[in-house]
Amino acid sequence: MSLIEDAAGVRENAHAPYSGFKVGAAILSAEGRVHLGCNVENVAYPEGTCAEAGAIASMIAAGDRRIAEVAVIADSPAPVPPCGGCRQKLAEFAAGEVVVTMATTSGATLAMTVAELLPGAFNAGFMINAENSAP
């Protein structure tokens, strides 16, 4: 099964009673395992969880730490990119050249690297200075 198929399968489990906009995400970790996530809305909109964030949480909970590839799918006229917050979350665990494939339920796809999705990403290197020696 492909990552897009994995994402399409978990998309069906999304909890989207307010928007009706279901999203599924699948992450292949550097360790070779697939981790899934779907969006979970909440009536207090800012409290929901994006599919990508759910897949990252699943990856971390399983003990993996590096993303090798990502697929995201939604029922939309065009492939939907991750939101800004999820782009930063992906950048935390993926090198810039990691490919994110965005797909629609009708079969359209668009592939971009994490670096293309979030040029100039904030990273731990910015936190290192004379007063603070970050890991």
Active site residues: 52
Closest by CA to 66, choosing from 14, 129, 114, is 114
Q: Which residues are annotated as a binding site for substrate?
A: 39-45
- Sign (positive/negative) of CA torsion 31, 33, 38, 40? negative
User: C-alpha distances in angstroms, 87 versus 60, 70, 81, 95?
Assistant: 17, 11, 9, 12
Contact 68, 30 (CB under 8 A): yes
Contact 67, 30 (CB under 8 A): yes
